[in-house]
């Protein structure tokens, strides 16, 4: 008796997947629930387990082939099938697609794989170094002159991207999937962005006071992001129009009764957005634990389809890279996304009762990109004002 291996449903709105790698080859024995192959979708890469113990007879969908949910991927036979017989009925392997390698161009640069070769191969044997003449003595600087700042080389500024220079490579699957999804969202939605500036001096003081104790209790560092995620989720409770989804085909609007907040994670393969479920009902510590676990899984490539499904809203903390504010793209099936900029110390007007004075404050830009088909500018302003009040009040009492 043979068993068909099919592509299971891999999350909300996922209708197809691309086979990225087979972990077993025809003729090999497999155990039930053992990883059989890897599949990539527009949300996450995941392993498909074997549905039964037996011998892999035939691979139906080759690597780099895109198939729909429910389509057949392979066939598993009984455990007593001879491996040689299994190999005999295996379909011909799919030839790998090799991207053409045109001559390097200073303006034609694309994202290569992590293990891309250098632009110019090293010679087989390096020649012996020639003796260098002694450098001429430099004149001593004037006593009153300040030393010139040391320039930062391009290689030192961006060592991870130096290998990209002069290369043309195939578009990574995840980047193509994310790009197609966001382009579709732009085509379908009427997107705008509104921005406010928030004084987070008190919030960051609270964060700094609690980091050591939090590290001692939890075993990992507390970042400011959970404070902003909680503020965003609490504001969603007061402004349900932001926590919604519009279905133009059915002419309906769904207002969610939970706050499932996606957080963007910058990985080597591209951005991923795991979901903190029920964020509006968690504490800062609860959100911090969820963010820590999800970020670790994303960086290690261990996210499951359940980890990235069901977001009703998204928070993107691009301020960790030094950005003041962003005009972010609203993800598909959501009404808005909140961008958190970097904290900047600036002089600002401080009010103490009826008195006003100038003080040094830490300020952050909060940007809300939203779908204007569902959210009006006044709705966006009201939501941002609520988030601003929450972060400025810094009344996060339970950090345990």
Catalytic center residues: 372, 376
Residues 30 and 52: their CA atoms lie apart, in Å, by 8
3-class secondary structure, 257: coil
Residues 134 and 344: their CA atoms lie apart, in Å, by 47
Phi, psi (degrees; rounded to nearest 5) at 129: -65, 140
| Residue 204 Cα distances to 200, 226, 229, 318, angstroms | 6, 12, 14, 17
Rounded to the nearest 10 degrees, the angle between the axes of helix 284-300 and helix 201-218 is 70
Q: Which residues pair with residue 243 across a beta bridge? A: none
Residues 309 and 277: their CA atoms lie apart, in Å, by 10
3-class secondary structure, 86: helix
DSSP 305: G
**Radius of gyration from C-alpha coordinates of the chain:** 27
The two beta strands, 336-340 and 313-316, are parallel
Q: Which of 378, 390, 391, 368 is nearest to 196 (CA)?
A: 368
Q: Which of 207, 225, 224, 238 is nearest to 385 (CA)?
A: 238
Alpha carbon 219 to chain centroid, angstroms: 24
């Amino acid at each position: 008796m043979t068993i068909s291996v099919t592509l299971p449903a891999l999350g909300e709105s996922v209708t197809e997947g691309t086979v990225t790698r087979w972990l077993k080859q025809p003729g090999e024995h497999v155990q039930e629930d053992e990883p059989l192959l890897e599949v990539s979708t527009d949300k996450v890469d995941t392993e498909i387990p074997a549905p039964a113990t037996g011998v892999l007879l035939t691979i139906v969908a080759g690597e780099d082939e895109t198939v729909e949910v429910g389509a057949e991927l392979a066939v598993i036979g009984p455990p007593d099938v001879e491996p040689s017989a299994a190999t005999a009925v295996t379909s011909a392997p799919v030839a790998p697609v090799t991207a053409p390698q045109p001559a390097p161009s200073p303006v034609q640069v694309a994202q290569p794989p992590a293990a891309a070769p250098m632009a110019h191969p090293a010679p087989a044997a390096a020649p012996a170094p020639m003796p260098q003449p002694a450098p001429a003595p430099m004149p001593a600087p004037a006593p009153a002159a300040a030393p010139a700042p040391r320039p930062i080389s391009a290689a030192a500024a961006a060592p991870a991207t130096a290998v990209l220079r002069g290369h043309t490579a195939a578009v990574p699957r995840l980047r193509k999937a994310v790009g197609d999804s966001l382009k579709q969202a732009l085509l379908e939605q009427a997107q705008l962005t509104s921005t406010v500036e928030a004084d987070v001096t008190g919030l960051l003081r609270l964060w700094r006071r609690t980091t050591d104790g939090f590290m001692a209790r939890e075993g990992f560092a507390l970042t400011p992001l959970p404070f902003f995620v909680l503020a965003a989720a609490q504001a969603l409770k007061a402004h349900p129009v932001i926590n919604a989804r519009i279905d133009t085909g059915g002419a309906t609007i769904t207002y969610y009764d939970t706050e499932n907040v996606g957080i963007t994670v910058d990985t080597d393969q591209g951005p991923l957005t795991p979901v903190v479920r029920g964020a509006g009902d968690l504490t800062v510590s609860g959100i911090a634990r969820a963010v820590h676990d999800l970020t670790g899984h994303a960086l290690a490539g261990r996210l499951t389809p359940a980890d990235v499904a069901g977001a009703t809203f998204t928070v993107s903390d691009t301020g960790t890279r030094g950005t003041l504010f962003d005009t972010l793209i609203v993800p598909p099936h959501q009404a808005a996304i909140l961008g958190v900029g970097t904290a900047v110390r600036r002089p600002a007007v401080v009010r103490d009762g009826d008195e006003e004075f100038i003080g040094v404050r830490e300020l952050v830009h909060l940007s809300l990109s939203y779908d204007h088909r569902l959210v009006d500018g006044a709705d966006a302003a009201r939501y941002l004002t609520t988030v601003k009040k929450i972060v400025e009040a810094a009344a996060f009492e339970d950090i345990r």
